[in-house]
Structure 1
Amino acid sequence: MSAPSVPPQSDGGQSGRPGRKPGPISDGVGPTHRAWLEPLRTRFLAGGLTISDLSERSGWAKSKISELLRGAGLYPRWEITHGLLQVLEIPTWPMRRLWMAAALEAHKKPDWIDGCIQKVALTTGPVEPPLEHQAFTDLNRDAYTAYARVFLEDQEAFEAVQETFDLLWLHWHEALASSDVVAFAWPVLRERVMDRAYHSEDGHPELTHAAFNTLALSHLTDDDARFRQIAESLALFRAISRLPAPQLDVMVLTHLLGLDHAAVADVLGTPIAAVHSTDRYARKSLTTVLGPQHDPGDAPA
């Protein structure tokens, strides 16, 4: 799932007119850069403006704007990014946090980042997220981080979770307008994690390092037993990684992280009956692939 779209804004009574659209986002754009670039492009494309309009209203050259919208060339400076945010009426503070994280991802030095930031005075949007957003963050950070660590190293997991909360701040009004904020938020986290996770050639996220970190291995002293456990764990986690996304998530939260079904329902924003059903189908699928001796309920948390 892509980051939720930003609703179109009024163009001041000016009707949209055809114009050259930006090309697709460049392949080399990193996940954090893409996280802020996609909603900016969505707002631009939904607003009925052209690149020429953005150039006239922001004062930046069309070539620079085109590069920024495609993620082409050098990582964009904050001055031009901020200029487009103002024209498109996108909240500045969460975007600045995302821009800074993406700058580090692009190997920009802190001095370069600070120099860009100091050239622009922020005058739009609140400095802190809404109180409801802060409460949501406090409530879900631990579970989100634990899920991310199943697929990522600690630093990458931290970045994915922080990026998720920044995106939710950016889209908070849309989240509140949805049928369920929790259900709105989970796909945002999942995409941020999966964008960073290593995937096998067939496109499935790898859980190999989770297999080596299971508690069962730490209790085995016999080398032969350890190798058997490693082989069994690798087979089980490989099979789990190939489950459909809802089943994979329930397996990870329940059988790797040790949450009960009620807690899983709270994290996913899913009815507990749906969690029961998803768990049952996932177990059935794993039993079909691995045999009845591989009960995911025995997988160590």
Structure 2
Amino acid sequence: MTTPTDPPVPSDRPRPGRKLGPIAGNVSSTHRAWLEPMRETYLASGLTLSALSSRISFAKSKLSELLRGVGLYPRWEVVFLLAAELDMPNWPLYRLWRQAAFEARRTSEWIDRCTERKPILTATHTAPPWDHRAFREQTEGDYLLYAQVFLDDNQRDTTVSDTFDILWLSWNDALTSHDTRRYAWNVLRATVMARTPHRDGRPELGMAAFDTVALRSLTDPADELDLVPELVELFTVISHLPRRQFDVMVLRRLCGFAPEAVSALVGASLATVRSDERHATHFVESVLYPPPSTEGTTP
């Protein structure tokens, strides 16, 4: 099997047959994590479901269901064979598939049975491309700090690991994008937000109050208790910010990054980061410290 450095060649010809439907709304975040790159690779390949069906001896209707996340969770055999036809690396795919299988309430025995009778289908533990490894070494610690704001330790580690597996599956797209750092940041953000508790459609930041730079700098427990309600209110206001301003405030105020570090991490210019922080700060201060009302006063 080739690596992600040799993707399927896109076809300019329209794909015959019915258009592939969207991913089902009830697909879990981990299932979606491997399904979306597989769909994107299929759509870029120029292949049809009929052609894939013939190559891997699997019904076209079942392939359509697999690529939409419909029906029973798919066995590794068909995922493996489909990935081979699409030239996708099987190791990150297998790790994401296995994790999603547990979320789909599949047992370890069921997972093991998917490969025990056909050893050739066992995912090979291979190393990612060297530039992917270098990128991970450079960014993983910072990604963990961002994820920590929203998730507990176990979820944080799993989510960041999944982020790099997803990037591995779509590394060609990352490299050919306008900015690899921004592409990767969007993958991280989407993966974190998919697993973050939300209220009224907005991510909850309340638990982050116990691990902020401000609290870690305090030495008196009484001061900490007094500050927590104020920080919870601050985080609630921050959650109403537009996406880009929200990330800048989280990285600056909760993770303690300098503006230059934020710029390098998210793939935005330093001027953009400073502008986003300035507008976000103005909004937060206008909500937390509104000007005194003049209603009922005489001129």
Place the TM-score, normalised by the shorter chain, in its bin.
Answer: 0.7 to 0.9
Query: More deviation in 208-217 or 66-75?
Result: 208-217
Task: Give the 5 Å matches for 1:1-301.
Answer: 9=9, 16-118=14-116, 119-121=118-120, 127-201=126-200, 203-214=201-212, 216=215, 219=219, 221-222=221-222, 228-291=226-289
Q: Distance in 2 between matches of 1:126 and 1:230?
A: 45
CA pair 242-167 structure 1, distance change in 2 beyond 3 A: same
Distance 1:21 1:99 in 2: 25
Displacement, 1:291? 1.1
Q: How far, CA to CA, are the matches of 2:15 and 2:137 in structure 1?
A: 44
SS in 2 for 1:151: coil
Determine what percentage of the aligned residue pairs are the same residue: 47
Please list the CA deviations of residues 40-67 of structure 1 after superposition, one character each: whole Å capped at 9, or x if unmatched.
2223334343332221111012232222
Gaps of 5+ in 2: 1-5, 292-299
| C-alpha contact 1:94 1:166 (8 A) present in aligned 2 | yes
Q: What is the TM-score of this pair, normalised by structure 2?
A: 0.84
Query: Which structure 1 segments of 5+ residues have no match?
Result: 1-5, 294-301
Partner residue, 1:296: none
Q: Partners of 1:178 and 1:25 in 2: how far apart?
A: 24
Deviation, 1:221, is: 4.6
CA shift in 2, pair 1:85/1:221, >3 Å: closer
The DSSP-based 3-state class of the residue aligned with 2:250 is helix
Map of 1:297 onto structure 2: none
Distance 1:179 1:23 in 2: 28
Farther-moved stretch of structure 1 (238-247 vs 42-51): 42-51
Residues 206 and 232 of structure 2 are in contact (CA less than 8 Å); yes or no, is this contact kept in structure 1?
yes
Shift of 1:238: 0.2
CA distance in 2: counterparts of 1:10 and 1:176, whole angstroms? 17
1:45, 1:171 → 2: CA distance?
13
Supply the distance in 1 between the matched residues of 2:234 and 2:45 (Cα, whole angstroms): 48
Aligned residues, how many? 283
The 1-side partners of 2:258 and 2:115 are apart by 45
Deviations 1:130-187 (A, max 9, x none): 1111111111111101101111122221122111111111222222223332122111
2:31·2:97 contact (CA, 8 Å) conserved in 1? yes
Which amino acid letter does the alignment assign opposite residue 154 of structure 2? Q
Counterpart CA distance in 1 for 2:290 and 2:182 is 33
TM-score by length of 1: 0.83
Q: Distance in 2 between matches of 1:158 and 1:269?
A: 22
The answer to whether the 8 A contact 1:91-1:125 is kept is no
Preserved contact between residue 79 and residue 120 of structure 1 (Cα < 8 Å): no
